[in-house]
Each structure stands twice: as structure tokens, then as C-alpha cells.
Structure 1
Amino acid sequence: MFFSLDRRCGHVLDALAKYDDYVTIDSLSAQLGQTRRNTQYDLCKINDTFKLAGISTISSRRNRGIKLLDEQKTWWENLSLEGGRKFNYIFTQDERVALIICESLLSNEINTIEEMSEELKVSRNTVFLDMKIVKEKLNDYGIRFEYVSKSGYTVSGDGLKIRSVLMYFISAIYPLISDGIINFLSDPQVREHQSRLHKIEQELDVNYPAETIDKIAIMLMLTKREIPLNWERQEANIRENPVYRIVSRYYPSLSENDRIYVSIQLLGARLRDEANTPDGSIGNFKNMAGKLVAYFQRLVGIEIENKELLIFNLARHLNRSIYRYQYGLIDSCGVEEEIQANPKELFELVKLAAKEFSRDIGYPINDSEVAFLTIHFGAHMRKNNVAIGKIKVLLVVKEADPNGELEKKVDDEFPMFHVVRTVTPAELSAFQGEYQIVISTQLLKYDGFYAYISDRLEAEDKKKVLEVYLRYRMLKNENIGENLFENIKKYIPKENQGKVRMEINRYFLAPVPNLLQLLEKGNVQCIDKISNWRDALAQAALPLLENGNIETSYVDCMITDNEMYGCSTYLGNGVYLAHTQSRGNVKRSGVAVLTIKKGVNFGVNYKVRILLVVASTDKNEHFTVLKEAVKICTDENKVEKMLRCTKEEDLYRTIAEFSMES
């Protein structure tokens, strides 16, 4: 018998299996890095599976928590033998599409519909729909995916783009691979490649993350045919590099193109200095950055202040990052998960903008790269940028650096920093108090915020710097109100000091108007079906029209935006975020929600079941509400609970719960 469990349920069972005694749900949730509500939802699904398997449900004791019984542990261990999950994992559509792309791009013979149906455990009709999405996704990057009569599906296009897209989608499904749900890591070819890559690693005297080795090994296993690659100026440089010579020794039978590509993946960030252009030549990158900012503005519906500065900083970043997109490099900064989570909603919005932007440049942008873009947007849009400003950084190097090479690298990578000066360790004590963070290529005895890095500023160094920055930002946000009060309290009469302190902390720490404050009970609707997406937008916005929040032209603008730009604000999980930039047609801020039981098609690819309409008179409030909406609607469990509501009062109460949580 097969059992339907997802990855998160598997993680819950793995965690519980380690305990012999009871563990609280709060403790378990903290260990898993998810909310208590998500854990409770997972436990319900696990108990349903246990009932199906004919065994007892998870033991629960008041004030003690939960634990797995021996029979449950044995059952789970039996399903997890030999590195492969024996339960019937249900792939999402995105996961199916990513797997089809990975197995097709460099295959000699693409699987038939029947073979895919059996592998993915879905119907032939479902696979046909998946194949349409595969074709459209690949078309975004100029890759043709076509069906030829009697020959089956074929793939053609620029070889470098095909490689880049392959690495992108390997990264997309890597969590499933590492969990053993997709059993690539047990493939003998992959294990052989891992062995060779580790030997190369030892000869180079470097330590690659296991994930990097795994992804390169999987890429080599999936490469069944050779494709021409246009290296431009990189080919000669790579051939002269020692990494290429070592790769060639361990892979003599690989084509030269494949040896060069493996070398590029192993070089990673060290390829950068050969790939970028001088800052004086970034005109083209400014055009690219302008498009990215325009996508973001259209997405959030506000005009970014001083956007030319943001465009310039993004252009400098793209100048030094575009090669990573082109080559599909997979090494990461190491703290992208923390950046994605803090603030997650900004990361999700930047990711949506980057998705549109990636079509313009013809290469996908992975989550690690989106994390870096989020830093730039976040640094520019911080609420208290006037009070906080750029963070002052002191660089410490072994000896004088007249060309300021490290300073240039730090400026390029970290827009939130202002390097006040570069000094040697002997000069450090003379500059106390001029800076908040020290970045040093030398080991120091220093008690403040301090990152020890190499002078090359590689991926591991960036991780260290970002960790220090995140710790500093957290502490700074907590202390800013108190610091301001301490500076001004001597000018305030004693009897008023308590009131002033409370007002200052309220200004810096109190929540801004949020989604719940703008969502009235009468603005929530539940319907069974609707004929088309235009009617759905009009129906969703109807309460705001009737209440005088918006004029009819606001609805017309939302419809026009969708006609011109497509579903750029589709959040996934069947949720569409409907809004547009106010043109004097928003009279009072408001939010409306419409659920459609049977869904409605927005274009070919998107089946929308929840429509969220946001209209705001203030752009800061607008952006805050959007972030909160994204936070709720990108959580699959929350969306499912909203869709289970059949009455408006239940839907409103559910949204209110989620809004209070966020």
C-alpha cells in the first residue's frame, strides 16, 4: 500500500523519531523552523495516514506534548529504508514541471507521456497540461520544446542557456533530491561523479558545500548529449586555469565544452574578476536595472523615491553578477534562507519582479541571487533610512591598499555599507568610534561586530559579512527608540519623560496600518463560480466600489494591467493579488477578498481561486499591506484553510487569525 505524505510531514516524522519522551509542539516547531499552526496541520495529516495504515495515532499528553510510539517508529523506518521514501509522495505541478525539464533538456530521448504519467503518478491529461507549461517556461529563455510526429519531443536552443536553465531547475528540486523523494543521489553514475569531484576538491585544496558537489554530479548524470556552447571571451581564460587541467585529468572522456562548464561551476565566484566590466561601462546594466525596478514598482503599485540611486546600485551589482545568471552558477552566499525569511514578504515580491526580469535577460535567477537583489531593495526602502543611514564599516587589511580593491568589492556587494576607511591592524586603535562594523582580512582581538574574511571576498566570506550585518540590524532596530530617548531626555521635564519615551517607542516599534485594519467584514465574498477573469476582478472589487473606497476607473486599470502585463502578480497557490497604482481613483484605503470554489482561468497557465484586491491612498501603507498579504498567501496551508471556508464570516475570521499571526 502507498501512503500520501509530503516532504514536511516526512521532516516531522524524522524529528519525532529521535525522541524517546514527549516533546511540545512549540519545541518541535522551533526545531523544524515552521509555525505551530503548520506543525499541527502536519500532525493531522500524519494521523490520517496512521489510521489508513491501521496503526494508532500519535500519543498526546496534556502539558507534556506528543511522541511517536514504537510501532509508529518501526512503520516509518520501514518506509524509509535504503534511502528511498516508500510512501506515495504527491508532486506539485511546479515540482513535476521542474523534474520534466531536468530529465528532458540534455536527454537523447525524452520520455513519452505514458512514461511520465507512470513516473509522476498522475494522469496522461495532467502530463499534457504540464508539458504545455514546460514549453512556455523554456520559451521564456529562447529554448524550443516541440513535439515532432513519430519522433516525440525535442529540445533546441542556445547551449549555454540550456545549461543555465538545467542548473536552475536542479536547484529547484534539490530539496526533494536530498530527502530521497527523487532518487538521483542513489544513481551509480551520480555516485561515480561525486567520487571524482571530491578528488578534484582535494587536489584544489578547497571545501565545496556538499550541495554544490551533488548538483554538478546530477548535471553530469543528466547530460546524455553534447550541445555547442558560445563561451565568448571566457573559453581561453578557462583553458589556462589550473582547475580546467585537473578537471580534464579526471574527465578525459568528457567533451571540451563539458570540461569547461564543470570548471566554471567549480571556480564559482573566483570567475568574477574575469567576467565583469569597469564601472564606467555599465550603461547597459543601468538599462537592465531600470527594467527590474520598473517591474517591482508595477508589482507593488508605488513609485520608489530616489529610484535613480537604487538603479545605479543595482546596475553595479548586475555588472558583477550577470555572469552568474548566464553560467547557472550554483554556489550561494549561505544565508539566503535567513534573508528570505527576514523579511520574507519583501523577498517574495523581489522574486516575482526578478521572474519577469529574467525573461528580458534570457536566463533564470535562482533564490540565492534573488536574496542579493532583496538586500539592495531592502537597503533602499528601509523605513528608518534617515535615522539609520548607511552602516559605517572599517576595513582592516594586512598592508596599505592604495588601489582600494577590497573597498570596491565591499561597496559593490553590500549597498547598505559605507566604508569610512581602510587601515592596517596597527592603525585600528586610532579610529575607535568612527564605525559600527569591522571587516578584516587579518585576525583581530575585537569585541564588536566583526567579520574575518579573505581578501578575495568569496562566497563563504559574503556569508560571514551578511551574518554580522543581520545581527547588527536586529540589535539596531531594537535599540533605536531607546537611544534617541537617551539623547534628548535631558531637554524634557521629568514629569513628561515617561510619556515622551512611550511616544518615541510607539513611533519606531508600533505596527503600521495592516491588512486586517483595512479589511471590513462586508468586503469578503465566497462564490461557487464565475464566467471569466474580468468579471472576477470586477466582482472582487465590488464592495470597495459600493463603499466609496475606489472609483470604477481603478477596476478598469487593474483589468488593463492584466491585459498588458499578464499575471505578474500571481502569487502561486491559486492566489492572484489585484491592485494598480493609484491615479487619484482611490478615495479611501481598503482591501477586499473573493474566493471562487471552482476557480477561474487567468490566461492559459493560472487557475485562480482567491482574488485579493488592495487599494491604498498612501504608498507606504500600500507596500506594508502588500507584504502582509504575500506573507499569508504564499503559505499553502493558510490558503487551503481559506478555501475551505464557505461562509463569509468564517473566511473573515480565518483571515483575521492569519493577519494577527503575521
Structure 2
Amino acid sequence: MLVSIDRRCIKLLQELEKETEFVSIKSLSESLDQTRRQTQYDIYKINSLFEFDKLPPIEAKQHKGVRLMDVHREWLKDLLDQENKKEDSEYNYVLTQEERCAVIICENVLRNGFSTLDDLSEQLMVSKNTIFIDMKIVREKLKEYNIECEFISGKGYLINGEELEKRKVFMYYISSIYGLISDGMLDYLQDEDVKRHIEVLHKIEEELEVHYNKGIIEKLALMLHFSETGENTKWNFPQKTGSALVCVNIDHVCRSHVYGIIDKYMKDRSDDEKAYICIHLLAGRMNKEYYLYNETEEIFEELAEKLVGYFETLVGVTMDKRGSLIEDLTQHLSRSSYRYIYGINDGSELETIIRREAEELFNVVRKVADRFSHDIQCPIDDQEVAYLAVHFSSHMHRTSAKKYRYSSMLICDESEKKRENLKKRIEDNIPLIQIHEVLTKAEYTEAEKNKYEVVISTEVLDINDGYVLISKKFDNTDHINILNEVLQSRADEVSSLSDDLFDQIKPYIQKKQVGTVRSIVDHFFGSDQNSTLTQLLTRERVKCLGDKDVSLSWRDAVFQAAYPLLADGSINRHYIDSIILNVELYGAYFYFDNGVYLTHAKDTSGVFRSGVSVMTIPRGINFPHNKKIYILFVLASVDEKEHFGVLKEILKVCDSKEKTEWLLEAQNEDVLYKNLRMIAEKK
């Protein structure tokens, strides 16, 4: 029997294998750049695999953490040895459908030849029927970006489209599977041709006297490897017309010093392809002379309004200070849209930080970006989603423990004009920061520092905390360092509230109870607060739809799922009609790929009391746009903060196929309710 193990589980085992002592879940999660919930779930999957192999589970001790036993270390060594020797193994990393589709696109979108079902089936180690289904998805994905995937009987699949369109789609999908590539699950980087391209690009990098972030050189090398364009291939670069948001002045690019160095090492490539590589290597160093903007910048404001509208529709709330958010997004899009158009990824670590610190918000903005990408006909990668998430986060309601913007001071020994320009760039790029004062190092005093939560300085200062040293050019590293300081400040605020409250009540606590009460206070201010979802979801609000009801229409399914809330007076019929109207207008817009749909309405006039109801549909019901729904959540809320909090919890409940399959296995409402609570309350 072939047992699959995914990349995250292998990385977790390798991380534990380095340690002989117990490792806390928090420390392990930070090492893996993932959330505690993801780490706990990976451990659960690994233990299931160990159980299959008749091995004990990973050793775990309360307040200490987890560690591998000797038998686990031997098991892992055998697994990796088999993989390195390419021997037949009962364990295999199996690509998901999403990963397979990305591989198919990356390996074929830049080719001029045909790909057959037999070739793809053998290469990806799945059946021809599976590949046939995958190709339907691939054709739909490419169609979104005006790229045609044509099937010709007796020959196979052939992909046709404009070179630039194909390049930006390639860069999007190669970024999506780059983790598999860098971990060796896909052995692209071992190919001699790829190594040759990497060597050439590193020579260019060395001659330019710059250092590119991890992955940039490798992704460009892979693009060169998979492309079959020759010296005479002509591209259709966008010009200064209404067809593009912003485009790069190719003539200016071709006159640049960077292009000259690229031309020196890549004589066999077309001028247009060399220009495209030059745009990637220039990236953030291009000044406004390189750009040809759309005739009017009003288009960026219109697109920003669309983004906000999609977010509000998806989440079901109206954004606080909506106009300010639109203004910030307008500026962001005017500066960033060239990255969408040319498929540029600058290798920033911001995505990792946002995924770790605000995973649920990132997932929501990811869905918004997917819809927005259809409007601009450009794929938007996860790095760009992280930038958008920062803007949305800064304009959302916060609890009293979190401030809207962090008061800051900037220290810089440049001219007044340069200091003001730097201040504007920081505030534009990090909406969480508000700089109230700009001083030189000579003007700065300790008293000044105490007025502000964060001091940002281009000069070295004798400060231990609340201080970020940045470069005068303000690059991605500086961006990340400031965000890290803000996130640490947030954590300190919550910790301070906990300490202050405990100090107030400590005199009234018996000595033997001090430890217990301290734990309760920390628990309240920490991340282990009771789930709002479990408070709003009662046993009477869950329903298992039987096989006899599979003939229902999707409208009937919405009504049945919402009926418990109607019956207990939480909502009226108007709210259900608003939900149905939303689906009619927008489709199943909060649909999860694992068959879960969260439905709610922005019009809350029919909501009298907050509540959540759930209905499982074992055989599924087709919703508009060919979305098959197996689990239907209905959310009604009278409070926007509560609404978003519950929405985030539902995202966690439904964030994996394994969880949804477990919920669908419930044969009655009692079991379904119990399983929902177990998932929601699992820490």
C-alpha cells in the first residue's frame, strides 16, 4: 500500500530530528514559519502515519513540548535514504490537484510543442483520467489570462498566447510551487540546463554588484529552461494605451546598464526576452522614467474601490474609514501594478510574517485578490496578497488592546526634503505607522523617545527597545523589520494589560491560589479565549441533510440551513432572501475548494440576534458557477467585530479537506454538533 506524506510533515520531522530535547509547539511553529494550529495538525497527521506503521506517536509532555523517539529517527532516515536513492518506497510525496495543475502549466506554457495525456500521466504518476480532469482546470485557469489550451486529436494539448501573458502566468505558478522545488520534491534545480542558467544569472548579479532575494535568480533560470523562444521571437509589450494600468518603457529599459550586462551573457535570447529579464532584475530600482502610466490615474481609484467592495461583500461588513482605505489602496496599486503585469516577485519575507500573524485575514484577502485578478487579467501571487492584507488590516476595527496606528518618530540626518520623502514612503508602505515627528540625531533626546511607541532611525541610537534601525533607501528588509517591531509592540500591550490586572487583584487572593488565578488571567488575555463560534452555534442549529433531500435546489438548501435561525427568532425571512439575492448576484463567493460555503448577507436589517447554523449535504448540491456544496454555514451577526471574529473561526474549522470529510461522516445532528465543537475548541 502506498502512503502519502506531504512536504510540511517532512519539514517538521526534519526540524525535530535536529533536537534531542523537547521542543515547544510555539518554537517549532516559528522555525517552520507556520501557525501553531498548522503545526498541531501536522503532528496529528504524522502520528496517524506512525500508527499505520505500528510505531508509537511523537513523544509529548505538557509544558515541555514534543520530541522524536529513536524509532522515529530511524524511520525518517530510511524514508530519506529511499528518496535519495530513488528506490521504490511505500511512502511517496503525492502532489495535490492544485500542485499538479501548477506543474502542468509551468512545464508547458512556454513550450511550442504538444503534450499528451500519456506523457503527463507518466510524469505526474496519476491516471490518465485524473490528468484529463486536471487539464479541464488548467484550460479554465489559462483562459482567464487570454491563453488558449487547445486539444488536437492524435497530437495532444497545445498552449497558445502572447509571450508576455505566458511569462507572467509562468512566474505566478512557479512561485506557487517554489516551496516544492526548493525542498527537492520537484528536482528542477538539479537539471544541468537549469544550473547553467543559474550560473549565468549569478554572473550578472555579481557584475551588477547587487544581491537578489532568495528564489529570484532560480525562478528566472527555470523560466529560461522551460521556454523555447529563440532569437527572433517577438513579444507584444503593452504600450501607453488604455489596455494596461501601467507599463514599462522598453526603449528606456534596453538603454539601461543592466540590459547591457544581460546582453553580454545572453546573446542567444531575443531582445524582448532580455528586456523582460531586465525588468525583473531592475524591479524596485526602476524610477518613474521607466514607466508609461495610463493616461489617467483615476483607474487606480476605481480599482481600489472594487477591491474594497469585494472585501466588504465577502466579509459582510462595511470598512471603517472606507475613504481612507481606498486612498491608501489607490497609492499602492499605482506603485505595484507593474509587478502584476510583468509577473515580478521580489522575494520579500512579508508573506511569511502575515501568514503567521494574521492567517485568517490573509486567507480572506487571498479570495478577494482571486476575484480582483479577473478584472485586471493578471494573476496576483501570495506576496502581493500579503501587501494588500497589511492595508486592509490597518483599516479594520480593533479591540481596546490594539491601536489603529502606532505613533512613531523618525530620526534621519539627511536634508529636510529627503527626511520628508522618507517619512511619506514609510507611511505609504506601512499604514500601521503614523510618524508624528522627524528629527536629526543631534535633536533627539531620551525624553523625545518616551513620547512614542516606535522610533524609526537611519542613524545608530543607544536604545534597547521600541527602536528600528533602517537604511536610507527604505527597502524590503526595513519594511519587514518595522512590521516585526509593531507586532512585538502589540504582544507587549496585551501582556501589559494582563500584568496590570493581576497586580490590582493580587492583594485579595489567598497565597495558595495565586498561581491558579495568574493562569486564568493569562488565559483570558492570551489566544485561548473561548470560541465565539461555539457560543453562537447550538445543538438546535445544526442539521444533517438526508439522502432523501438531495433533490433540493440550492435556494431550498439555503432556506433549510438558515431555518433554525429563523425558527428561534434570530433572523427574519428578509435576511434569508438577502442571502439568496447575494448568491444570485455574486455566485457562491465565499466558497472553499473543499466543498464548504459560508453564506451571509451585508444587509443585516433582518438580524435580531447573532447566530450560526450549519447543514451538511453528503451528496452535495450544485450552486451557481458549478460550485458543489457539501457543508453550508449561515452566519448572522449584529456586531461587525463579532462578525469578523466568527468568520475567522469558521475559516479555521474548514481549512482542510480532512476536517470537512470528518464533519460529513457524522450520521446525525448530535455527532455533527460534537465534532464541530471539538474542531472549534481545539487549540
Q: Which one of 440, 444, 454 corresponds to residue 461 of structure 2?
A: 444
Deviations 1:151-209 (A, max 9, x none): 54333334333222211111111112122222211121111111112222222222223
> 2:627 matched to 1:606?
yes
Paired residue for 2:380? Answer: 365
Contact 1:277–1:319 (CA under 8 A) maintained in structure 2: no
Q: Which one of 222, 232, 237 corresponds to residue 230 of structure 1?
A: 237
Q: For 1:621-660, list aligned pairs within 5 A.
A: 621-660=642-681
Contact 1:596–1:609 (CA under 8 A) maintained in structure 2: yes
> 2:533 matched to 1:522?
no
Letter in 2 for 1:303: T
Give the C-alpha shift of residue 291 in structure 1.
0.2
Counterpart CA distance in 2 for 1:302 and 1:148 is 48
Paired residue for 1:53? Answer: none
Deviations 1:371-390 (A, max 9, x none): 11111111111414798342
Paired residue for 1:96? Answer: 100
> 2:14 matched to 1:14?
yes
Counterpart CA distance in 1 for 2:335 and 2:27 is 42
Contact 1:599–1:608 (CA under 8 A) maintained in structure 2: yes
Q: For 1:179-328, list aligned pairs within 5 A.
A: 179-225=183-229, 226=233, 228-232=235-239, 233-271=248-286, 273-274=288-289, 282-328=297-343
Give the C-alpha shift of residue 40 in structure 1.
3.7
Paired residue for 1:498? Answer: none
Q: Which one of 55, 58, 83 corresponds to residue 57 of structure 1?
A: 55
Counterpart CA distance in 1 for 2:559 and 2:127 is 35
Contact 1:58–1:66 (CA under 8 A) maintained in structure 2: no
Give the C-alpha shift of residue 619 in structure 1.
2.4
Give the C-alpha shift of residue 294 in structure 1.
0.3
Letter in 2 for 1:363: C
Counterpart CA distance in 1 for 2:304 and 2:113 is 39
Provide closer, same or farther for how the CA distance between residues 214 and 387 of structure 1 changes in structure 2, counting only shifts above 3 A.
closer
Deviations 1:278-325 (A, max 9, x none): 999642211110000000000011122321111111111111111111
Paired residue for 2:245? Answer: none
> 2:84 matched to 1:81?
yes
Letter in 2 for 1:346: L
Deviations 1:601-654 (A, max 9, x none): 334553332211111222222122111111221244433432333332222122
Paired residue for 1:126? Answer: 130
Contact 1:85–1:180 (CA under 8 A) maintained in structure 2: no
Paired residue for 1:345? Answer: 360
Q: Which one of 423, 428, 443 corresponds to residue 407 of structure 1?
A: 423
Give the C-alpha shift of residue 511 in structure 1.
5.5
Contact 2:583–2:624 (CA under 8 A) maintained in structure 1: no
Counterpart CA distance in 2 for 1:385 and 1:357 is 32
Q: What secondary structure sits across from 2:598 in the alignment?
A: strand
Paired residue for 1:417? Answer: 433
Give the C-alpha shift of residue 60 in structure 1.
6.1
Counterpart CA distance in 2 for 1:612 and 1:557 is 15
Q: Which one of 560, 574, 585 corresponds to residue 553 of structure 1?
A: 574
Give the C-alpha shift of residue 526 in structure 1.
2.6
Letter in 1 for 2:78: W
Worse overlay, 238-247 or 224-233:
224-233
Give the C-alpha shift of residue 577 in structure 1.
1.1
Q: For 1:585-596, list aligned pairs within 5 A.
A: 585-596=606-617
Q: Which one of 554, 573, 576 corresponds to residue 594 of structure 2?
A: 573
Letter in 2 for 1:465: I
Give the C-alpha shift of residue 106 in structure 1.
0.9
Paired residue for 1:499? Answer: none
Counterpart CA distance in 2 for 1:523 and 1:74 is 49
Counterpart CA distance in 2 for 1:616 and 1:543 is 15
Counterpart CA distance in 2 for 1:204 and 1:328 is 22
> 2:413 matched to 1:398?
yes
Worse overlay, 100-109 or 2-11:
2-11
In percent, how many aligned pairs have the same letter?
36
- When the two chains are superposed, the root-mean-square deviation of aligned CA atoms in Å is 3.5
Counterpart CA distance in 1 for 2:633 and 2:255 is 55
Q: Which one of 385, 403, 422 corresponds to residue 388 of structure 1?
A: 403
Give the C-alpha shift of residue 62 in structure 1.
7.9
Contact 1:550–1:615 (CA under 8 A) maintained in structure 2: yes
Q: What secondary structure sits across from 1:257 in the alignment?
A: helix
Provide closer, same or farther for how the CA distance between residues 108 and 61 of structure 1 changes in structure 2, counting only shifts above 3 A.
closer
Worse overlay, 436-445 or 339-348:
436-445
Counterpart CA distance in 1 for 2:12 and 2:499 is 41
Provide closer, same or farther for how the CA distance between residues 126 and 111 of structure 1 changes in structure 2, counting only shifts above 3 A.
same
Deviations 1:445-504 (A, max 9, x none): 322322222222222222222222222222234336878999xx9xxxx99xxxxxx99x
Paired residue for 1:67? Answer: 69
Provide closer, same or farther for how the CA distance between residues 413 and 127 of structure 1 changes in structure 2, counting only shifts above 3 A.
same
> 2:449 matched to 1:432?
yes
Q: For 1:478-493, list aligned pairs within 5 A.
A: 478-479=495-496
Worse overlay, 330-339 or 350-359:
330-339
Letter in 2 for 1:451: V
Deviations 1:565-587 (A, max 9, x none): 12321122221111112342223
Give the C-alpha shift of residue 224 in structure 1.
1.7
Provide closer, same or farther for how the CA distance between residues 231 and 316 of structure 1 changes in structure 2, counting only shifts above 3 A.
same
Paired residue for 2:4? Answer: 4
Provide closer, same or farther for how the CA distance between residues 607 and 279 of structure 1 changes in structure 2, counting only shifts above 3 A.
closer
Provide closer, same or farther for how the CA distance between residues 460 and 20 of structure 1 changes in structure 2, counting only shifts above 3 A.
closer
Worse overlay, 8-17 or 240-249:
8-17
Provide closer, same or farther for how the CA distance between residues 244 and 83 of structure 1 changes in structure 2, counting only shifts above 3 A.
farther
Contact 1:16–1:68 (CA under 8 A) maintained in structure 2: no
Counterpart CA distance in 2 for 1:441 and 1:418 is 17
Contact 2:407–2:452 (CA under 8 A) maintained in structure 1: yes
Q: What secondary structure sits across from 2:443 in the alignment?
A: helix
Q: What secondary structure sits across from 1:598 in the alignment?
A: strand
Contact 2:315–2:644 (CA under 8 A) maintained in structure 1: yes
Letter in 1 for 2:9: C
Q: For 1:133-212, list aligned pairs within 5 A.
A: 133-149=137-153, 152-212=156-216
> 2:122 matched to 1:105?
no
Contact 1:83–1:180 (CA under 8 A) maintained in structure 2: no
> 2:486 matched to 1:474?
no
Paired residue for 2:242? Answer: none
> Which segments of 5 or more consecutive residues in structure 2 lack a partner in the other structure?
240-247, 509-519
Counterpart CA distance in 1 for 2:292 and 2:401 is 32
Q: What secondary structure sits across from 2:341 in the alignment?
A: helix
Give the C-alpha shift of residue 519 in structure 1.
0.3
Provide closer, same or farther for how the CA distance between residues 506 and 641 of structure 1 changes in structure 2, counting only shifts above 3 A.
closer
Letter in 2 for 1:519: L
> Which segments of 5 or more consecutive residues in structure 1 lack a partner in the other structure?
51-55, 496-501
Contact 2:597–2:633 (CA under 8 A) maintained in structure 1: yes
